[in-house]
Structure 1
Amino acid sequence: MRFKHSGSNRAWGLVAGLGLAALTGMLQGCAAPAARPPQDVQTASDQTDADRRARVRMELAVAYFGRGQNSTALDEVKQALQAKPDLADAYNLRGLIYANMSEVALAEDSFRHALQLAPRDADTMHNYGWFLCQQRRYGDAEAQFNAALAVPNYRDAMRTLLTMGVCQARNNQWAEAEKTLQRSYEMDPANPTTAMNLAEVLLRRGEYERARFYVRRVNANDELVSAQTLWLAARIENKLGQSAQVKVLGTQLVNRFPQSAEALLYEKGRFDD
């Protein structure tokens, strides 16, 4: 079971997604294991009734959580844990739910419990890291992100690098954020969220030409254009002293997204907010 919670496809600001992945194996000890006969491939018939009940409850919990129905999702997680009390995935999701409900202590306890059950689960480390970042515990957050990235064969390194870069930016670590986001971008140059976050960081660092390059790549695709992408582009052109381009972008912003906060900022000339 895998779950990605990334918010609106048009939310290109300094935000990053969370995720929930299936239970990974426990860390093996250093001693060589004793020889054992080959294990049969696990199929549905090998599942116990408890396994099946927990799986169904988790699928429901993920669906409810994805729709923002936190209380209902939490109830499904509780029933999954009644069926399988050692299900690390359930504690991971419970942490995300409690974080959404601003239950800080319960969220942290859930993430810690998930890592006790599955200490090499990179997705839980990622989620716990983002939670810690939201609590402004930046050093602890970075430690979790780096631990996730160190897990062999971790398939979502790009996502964790993006999230770590956003966290570093929140902490005004602009040089570190640029380096981290650049690594994420190199892994997936087509990801508009990474490109927009990188452009924002470069703008903050005074690297206006480079910032322009990344935001233009996003705005070249009309399906990706949003109030945020146009406003970021206008802010960059303003720093470059390109008043004509600022006016073109501002006009597009006001015409296409007249009710947006970004359009209001443009009309007030508040380019540095």
Structure 2
Amino acid sequence: MLKIKIFIYFLLLTLLTACIKNNEYGGSIGTSEIKEAQTTNEVALTNLNLGIAYLTENNYDKALEKLNKSLEADSNYAPTYNILGLLYQQLGDLNEAEKNFKRALSINSVDSSTLNNYGNFLCVLGRLSEAEKAFSKAAENPLYDAPEIAMTNAGQCLYQNKEIERAEKYYRLALQSNPQVPQALLKMSQINFDKQKFLSARAYMQRYQEIAPHNAKTLLLGIKIENKLGDQDASSSYQLLLKNSFPDSNEFTELQNIKAMGNENIGEKEKVIENLTKQNPMIDEEVKQEPIPKDITENNVQENNVTNEQAIRSFVNQWANAWADQNVDEYLASYSKEFMPSKGKSRKRWQKERTERLLVPSFIKITLSNLKIDMRGDNYARVGFTQSYRSDTYKDKARKELLVEKTGNEWLIIKEN
């Protein structure tokens, strides 16, 4: 039995899909791999290899000649029909392309390479439900050693067609299968940026740059993320890379336009403060002039405590829900600027570790019980509870305590034990 792996590089075959070809970050997510395990017909296999070689060189006449010779040697050779589907798709003969993809699948209905290519073909035609089924079936094949490719393809297809929520699901599945898929990490960064979840966007960008080089588009996204978070040092580093590495790119031109407008370079916090000042410069005076009640009875104090306890209970539940939902931005926003991490950690290191702790598991379940609130005046409280934590990688149950402080109209964590 002759076993040969034939690798088809999607980027070289420009016919391969709006999902990959039009990927806004460029580059291929990897390879589609055909594993030849059944045939003993060397003539069919040799001509298939030659056909693929000609196809990658855009020599379509020679490619078709060799693929037809492959079928002359073995008329039931599914991989050849798969490649013929790609060839006819490139030539614009969509009917013939689909006919060959279907012929390949009629011979081997679970071949992940064919399902991937057929899914991409269906996506180009806008047949999203059929494409999604093909990608899912490709990923479900237990013999397929790269299901993240099919999941990322599904995500790319849906993202390109504005099905963002559905696309996000597949990007997450891809990253659960393989945490180092560059396109999935980038799209998750972009999706979170668009949702104004800037800390999550940063976390995915940081994971991306650990495994892949930047290009102009990724650097511009990094700049926008850091501008929103008000980290001008990080933004400046990205800007310098963009200027030095891609000075002639559209992205560098866009950056120059952003600078000229003067909006994106103001951190999110500074923008909010500036806008509030412009809108209402007399805000401090108005607060001073507000009448102060003179009659504060014991009942009023008790009422305030009840109201505070309700607010604290609600806040703690929101904090736990953000954790369970793996919502990094909402979770980290539960901590006061005065919060000091334990064990002498810096705030930056603590934040990075917590972000990874939220994003790495495929699911998190948090249950709080026996919650008790001990008010310490009007603006502080100790909150104790039993915390049950479970994820796909770890579980525990322990007694926890938070010290919370009222800041304005909200409660925030300033210490945790």
The two structures have a TM-score, normalised by structure 1, of: 0.78
Moved more, 54-63 or 255-264: 255-264
Q: Do structure 1's residue 13 and structure 2's residue 25 form an aligned pair?
A: yes
Which residue of structure 2 aligns with residue 135 of structure 1? Answer: 125
- The change in CA–CA distance for 1:268 and 1:110 in structure 2 (over 3 A counts) is farther
Q: Sequence identity, in percent?
A: 26
CA contact (8 A) 1:114 1:124 kept: yes
- Provide the rounded CA distance (Å) in 2 between the counterparts of 1:20 and 1:190: 18
Residue in 2 that maps onto 1:115 = 105
In 2, the alpha carbon distance for the partners of 1:96 and 1:238 equals 43
Matched AA of 1:121 = D
Measured at CA, do residues 205 and 17 of structure 1 come closer, stay the same or move farther in structure 2, by a change above 3 Å? farther
Q: TM-score, normalised by structure 2?
A: 0.53
- Residue of structure 2 equivalent to 1:29: none
Distance 1:226 1:174, change over 3 A: same
Q: In the superposition, relative to structure 1, how do residues 239 and 141 fare at CA in structure 2: closer, same or farther (>3 Å)?
A: farther
Q: 1:195 to 1:4 in 2, by over 3 A?
A: farther
What does residue 226 of structure 2 align with? 237
- Cα shift at 1:244: 5.4
Deviation at 1:4? Answer: 3.2
Distance 1:207 1:253, change over 3 A: same
Corresponding letter in the other structure for 1:2: I
Q: Larger Cα Rg: Structure 1 or Structure 2?
A: 2
Shift of 1:207: 2.3
Assess, with a 3 A threshold, how the Cα gap between structure 1 residues 267 and 81 changes in structure 2: closer, same or farther.
Answer: farther
Give the unaligned 5+ runs of structure 2: 13-22, 265-417
Name the counterpart of 1:256: 245
Go from structure 1 to structure 2 and tell me whether the alpha carbon gap of 1:147 and 1:190 turns closer, same or farther (over 3 Å shift). closer
Q: Distance in 2 between matches of 1:16 and 1:74?
A: 27
Deviations 1:43-92, CA, capped at 9 Å, x for gaps: xxxx4xxx221111111122223344444323321221122221110010
Shift of 1:106: 1.9
* Paired residues of 1:16 and 1:166 also in contact (CA < 8 A): no
CA contact (8 A) 1:4 1:17 kept: no
Please say if residues 6 and 49 of structure 2, whose CA atoms lie closer than 8 Å, have aligned partners that are also in contact.
no
| Aligned-partner Cα distance in 1 for 2:179–2:141 | 23
Which among 226, 243, 268 is matched to residue 257 of structure 2? 268
Match of 2:66 in 1: 76
2:29 touches 2:182 (CA, 8 Å); kept in 1? Answer: no
* Residue 96 of structure 2 corresponds to residue 106 of structure 1: yes
| CA 1:24–1:172: 2 relative to 1, 3 Å | farther
Partner of 1:13, secondary structure, is coil
Q: Is the deviation greater in 225-234 or in 146-155?
A: 146-155
Specify the alignment match of 1:227 in structure 2.
216
Distance apart, 1:159 and its partner CA: 0.8
Q: Which amino acid aligns with 1:260?
A: S
Q: 1:225 to 1:88 in 2, by over 3 A?
A: same
Distance 2:115 2:214 in 1: 32
Is the aligned partner of 1:22 residue 2:35?
yes
Report the alpha carbon displacement of residue 6 of structure 1 after superposing the two structures with TM: 3.5
CA contact (8 A) 2:6 2:33 kept: yes
- What code does the residue aligned with 1:194 have? A
Quote the Cα distance in structure 1 between the aligned partners of 2:119 and 2:33: 13
Amino acid at match of 1:150: E
How many Å apart are 1:171 and its aligned residue?
Answer: 2.3
Secondary structure of the residue that 2:126 maps to in structure 1?
Answer: coil
| RCO higher in structure (CA 8 A, sep ≥6) | 1
SS at match of 2:32: strand
Task: Provide closer, same or farther for how the CA distance between residues 115 and 192 of structure 1 changes in structure 2, counting only shifts above 3 A.
Answer: same
Q: Supply the RMSD in Å over aligned alpha carbons.
A: 2.9
Partner in structure 1 of residue 153 of structure 2: 163
Alpha-carbon separation, structure 1, partners of 2:228 and 2:10? 30
Q: Which residue of 1 aligns with 2:181?
A: 191
Query: Residue 86 of structure 1: SS of its match in structure 2?
Result: coil
User: Cα deviations across residues 195-237 of structure 1 (Å, max 9, x unaligned)?
Assistant: 122222222333221111111233346x612223212212323
Q: Structure 1 residues 239 and 157, CA, compared in 2 at 3 Å: closer, same or farther? A: same
